[in-house]
Amino acid sequence: MHVVFIEPAFPKNQREFLRGLLSTGARVSAISERPPEALPSELREGLFQFERVRSVVDEHALAEAVKRLAQKARVDRLEATVEAHVMAAAHVREQLKIYGTTSRTAWLCRDKPAMKETARAAGVPCAASARVQSVADAEAFAKANGYPLIMKPLDGAGASGTSKVTNDAELHAACEALRVPSGRTVAIEEFLEGHEGFYDTLSVCGKPVLDFACHYYPNVLEAMRTRWISPQIVCTNRIDGGSYQEVRALGQKVITALGIWTSPTHMEWFAGQKGLRFSEIGCRPPGVGVWDLYCAANEFDLYAAWAHAIVHEQVPFQPSRKYSAGMVALRPDRDGQIAQYDGVEAMQRRYGEWLLDSHLPPAGTPTQGVEGGYMANAYVRMRHPDYDTLRSMLDWVGQNVKVRAR
């Protein structure tokens, strides 16, 4: 089998997917915006062919590169694991008749209103939502559903570009920020109260063969807006218990409704007074190093498992569920340059055996804004067999390890 992987060099964790593919024994080629020297020699030397293009989301250039690779050996799979690359890959697949995620599924996993309309039609509980093409559309939705509401780009990832609005003035401000008066179409949704988490799968032929459940503390929108919070993402090892069966059933229902076949998935959900609600899904892995947490928590190679799913449509790996694992983001106390850290040695003495790794940029490193995400500045990753103990450890780190800036 000949598998072509899109953009193996950036971001850095893309190399892990390429490593996984090479481990299967398949013939692997790559298409990248960067030169082959951007890859470590052991990965570069394992490639069958390499094509460089100006942009991997330029569908014409991507298709021409695939055609050139197909002259060497028929292309059986064309795979992308970055959100921004998924649609271009799907269009080229269909143009060249390559098996894989369809453009319809890719579109449904990007366009938030269409995603929810399709899920709702399949009986999946969702927040009320609509497509906004004018300020009048937004006003009408607010009148029908009341505040608070969420406004965001149709294809936004995470909390990027997302605003919570609680009155008419904030609604109009959000419309301006999202350029609705200039003709941009965006999504508007009911704001869901409750706890936010996500459910990730590696699905083969429409069925999850590996799955994982994670929790946000606090919810993403608050975490991405508030400097003093040290937000956490925590993967539980209790997913096989009865309390997650509803989440698993919801995930399967969404995967079926959107036509996801053999692919990683990343599904956000809320649980609150209105019960469990579907938020959104991507037919790609989660970001911010979450797959590394899954590997560490379950003592296996999820990247190789993904590669076997793509190449063989079966996965000869099982998660141990031995550990829960999580990360806590550490924000600088102000914008500027990192000056020093407080509490790192105490953390190492207290929790050394449970530390997976940490990212502590050296003094003089420019800080990044709070909205930059969980890995924008400093972070610590840990694991422990007991989920509640892990939560208390992450809390301690967030409260006692400080990033000082000047």
Q: Using the 3D structure, point to which of 100, 118, 139 is the last residue of a domain.
A: 100
Tokens of 277: 């609600």
Q: How many domains does the chain have?
A: 3
Verify that 307 and 375 share a domain, yes or no. Answer: yes
State whether 170 and 295 are in the same domain: no
Residue 118 lies in a domain: no
Neighbouring residues of 148: CB distance < 8 A, sequence distance ≥ 6: 164, 165, 166, 191
> pLDDT below 50 — which residues of the chain?
none
What is the predicted pLDDT for the residue at 158?
54
The DSSP result for 170-218, as a single string, is HHHHHHHHTTGGGT--EEEEEPPPSEEEEEEEEEETTEEEEEEEEEEES
CA 295 to chain centre: 16
Residues 270 and 201 in one domain: yes
Whether residues 401 and 302 fall in one domain: yes
b/e map of 311-332 (b: 16 or more CB within 10 Å)? beeebebebebebbbbbbbbbb
Longest Cα–Cα distance in the chain: 60
Q: Which helix (H) or strand (E) holds 14?
A: helix 14-23
State the residue range of the domain holding 274. Answer: 195-405
**227 shares a domain with 369:** yes
Q: Are 53 and 163 part of one and the same domain?
A: no
Same domain, 151 and 229: no
**Residue 121 within any structural domain of the chain:** no
387 with 317, same domain: the answer is yes
Evaluate whether residue 116 is within a structural domain.
no
Within this chain, do residues 155 and 19 fall inside the same structural domain, yes or no? no
CATH number of the domain to which 321 belongs: 3.30.470.20
Residues 56 and 135 in one domain: no
- pLDDT at residue number 288: 94
Q: Kindly state whether residue 105 falls inside one of the protein's structural domains.
A: no
Q: Are residues 238 and 382 in the same domain?
A: yes
What are 98's two structure tokens?
Answer: 């390559």
Indicate which CATH number applies to the domain containing 39. 3.40.50.20
For residue 374, which phi and psi values (nearest 5 degrees)? -70, -25
Residues 235-261 as b/e (b if ≥16 CB within 10 A, e otherwise) read bbbebeeeebeebbebbbbbbebbbbb
Same domain, 220 and 287: yes
**Which CATH number covers residue 139?**
3.30.1490.20
- Position 159 scores a pLDDT of 60
Q: How many angstroms separate the Cα of 95 from the Cα of each of 62, 90, 91, 100?
A: 11, 9, 6, 12
pLDDT at position 193, please? 87
